[in-house]
Amino acid sequence: FSLGSSTGSLNNTVAEGNADDSINVVVRVRPLNAKEIQNNDPSIISFPGNGQILVEGVSDRIGGTDGNGPKTKQFAYNIVFEPGATQSDVLMYSGMTKLIQMAVEGFSTTAFCYGQTGSGKTHTLTGPPKLFEKNPDPSDPEHGLVFRSFMYLFQLLKDKRDVHFVLKASFLEIYNEKVIDLLNPGLRKPLAVRWSKKSRSFFVENLFTVDCEELDDLLAVLEEGMRNRAMGAHMMNEHSSRSHTILTVHITSEQQMENGVFITKQGKINFVDLAGSEMTKKTHSEGKTLEEANNINKSLMVLGYCIAKLSDPKKKEKEHIPYRDSKLTKLLADSLAGNGVTLMIACISPAKSNVTETLNTLRYAARAKRIKSKPIVVMDPREALIVTLKREVAALQTENEHL
């Protein structure tokens, strides 16, 4: 833990992670649903172990193979969750707990679910809607990753008695490139995304941010946002498959070091439920106005470009990464770019009828896995100055004591 470069330089780096920490890609395969079973729509996915996935019967048309008929395609990831995996397995084995630990240490982190509509993104992050109706049972096995992460986070903070933590949470939706506050639904106006010189990242202006002293406060944010999202969904068809949601937990910690110096760190966790990945193609479909077509999934397309560029070491050096081209990528830039940590959960259906989208998701996930960067903790320059001044004061005091 070095304070060496904390004044003067623009990047007030105080701690570095490993390149291996920067992105973790896992795949979750949902069970066949009742409709697929009824339609004799078989599973084409199998699991040879070691994070591998086999997709059977891929035709030349969609798989781009050699013209000799259906093939089996193979992919490998950090972890693969089979249809029998539980919600608790996803928290424990996805790398999410490590991500939470890093956020507590001051890193910007993001966990996002990617996949076609109906592949299990919302189920994985938040669980079924019944959990947001009234008085959900905290021990319900269907609680998703967000709920479980909150529990884990509070457990972690309880064990760190020497550190003072302040938690704040916000919950927003991006629909048609407009940012809507899910905690302030009365506000009909979309919010602006702006650049903050101070924190060197983008932020949403006037976004409602709730102080969360207790676990229940965080859970209330989740429930309130989910209810407001569901209400919006009734007003418009396909709403939830076209919108992205970001629930953010900001974690500020203040700790007094042995030499009396206080260190303040700002970490965060973004939980992102993305629009259905099939939308990137539907964007060009008929019956849309130009603006709608351009906006429907600009965010998802730009995220794809950013991931493609970040994952190609040659391009990454030469070309700029187009974070600024969409609302979603602006807000995730600090986690995706050099200084953050990301968990991608690629959600897929096992059914034969979904093979095209399943292959697209698996390829996208394979590409994301190649991203390498070095996460860093960034301190606000003013904060860094205070730390240095406090350190100097402490040093003078020690000197005095020895005179």
Q: In the window 121-140, what residues touch Mg ion (CB under 5 A)? A: 121-122
Helix (H, G, I), strand (E, B) or coil at 385: helix
Check whether 121 is labelled as a binding-site residue.
Answer: yes
CB of 176 to ligand ADP, least distance (A): 18
Check whether 115 is labelled as a binding-site residue.
Answer: yes
- Whole-angstrom CA distances from 396 to 1, 217, 255, 257, 262 are 22, 42, 20, 16, 16
CB of 160 to ligand ADP, least distance (A): 33
Answer with the entry of ligand ADP, Mg ion, none that 123 interacts with (C-beta below 5 to 8 A by kind).
ligand ADP
CA dist., res. 104 & res. 265, Å (int): 8
Q: How many CB atoms lie within 10 A of CB 284?
A: 9
CB of 87 to ligand ADP, least distance (A): 8
User: Do the beta carbons of residue 79 and residue 51 sit within 8 Å?
Assistant: yes
Stretch that binds Mg ion, among 53-61, 89-97, 113-121, 213-221 (CB under 5 A): 113-121
User: Do the beta carbons of residue 332 and residue 114 sit within 8 Å?
Assistant: no
Helix (H, G, I), strand (E, B) or coil at 32: coil
Q: Does 42 bind ligand ADP (CB under 6 A)?
A: no
Exposed, middle or buried, 120 (CB in 10 Å: 0-12/13-18/19+)?
Answer: buried
Q: In the window 258-297, what residues touch ligand ADP (CB under 6 A)? A: 276
Q: Does 201 bind Mg ion (CB under 5 A)?
A: no
Nearest to 56 by CA among 70, 75, 39, 76: 70
User: Bridge-partner residues for 54, per DSSP?
Assistant: 46, 74
Exposed, middle or buried, 18 (CB in 10 Å: 0-12/13-18/19+)?
Answer: exposed
Q: In the window 119-178, what residues touch ligand ADP (CB under 6 A)? A: 119-123, 128
Answer with the entry of ligand ADP, Mg ion, none that 128 interacts with (C-beta below 5 to 8 A by kind).
ligand ADP
Pairing between β-strand 108-114 and β-strand 262-273 as defined by DSSP bridges: parallel
CB of 146 to Mg ion, least distance (A): 13
Check whether 265 is labelled as a binding-site residue.
Answer: no
Check whether 201 is labelled as a binding-site residue.
Answer: no
- 30/369 with CB nearer ligand ADP: 30
User: Do the beta carbons of residue 142 and residue 131 sit within 8 Å?
Assistant: yes
CB of 37 to ligand ADP, least distance (A): 13
Answer with the entry of Mg ion, ligand ADP, none that 115 interacts with (C-beta below 5 to 8 A by kind).
ligand ADP
Pairing between β-strand 108-114 and β-strand 340-348 as defined by DSSP bridges: parallel
Answer with the entry of ligand ADP, Mg ion, none that 119 interacts with (C-beta below 5 to 8 A by kind).
ligand ADP
Q: Does 119 bind Mg ion (CB under 5 A)?
A: no
Helix (H, G, I), strand (E, B) or coil at 390: helix
Check whether 117 is labelled as a binding-site residue.
Answer: yes
Answer with the entry of Mg ion, ligand ADP, none that 388 interacts with (C-beta below 5 to 8 A by kind).
none
Q: In the window 69-128, what residues touch ligand ADP (CB under 6 A)? A: 115, 117-123, 128
Q: Does 244 bind ligand ADP (CB under 6 A)?
A: no
Nearest to 369 by CA among 30, 79, 126, 69: 79
Binding track over 7-36 against ligand ADP, x by CB under 6 A: -----------------------xx-x---
Count of residues in the chain: 403
Nearest to 310 by CA among 10, 22, 12: 22
Cβ contacts of 401 within 8 Å, gap of 6 or more: none
CB of 240 to ligand ADP, least distance (A): 7
Closest chain position to Mg ion (CB): 122
Helix (H) or strand (E) holding 307: helix 298-311
Q: From the annotation, which residues make up the binding site for ATP?
A: 115-122
Q: Contact positions toward ligand ADP, by CB under 6 A? A: 30-31, 33, 115, 117-123, 128, 276, 347
Q: From the annotation, which residues make up the binding site?
A: 115-122
Q: Contact positions toward Mg ion, by CB under 5 A? A: 121-122
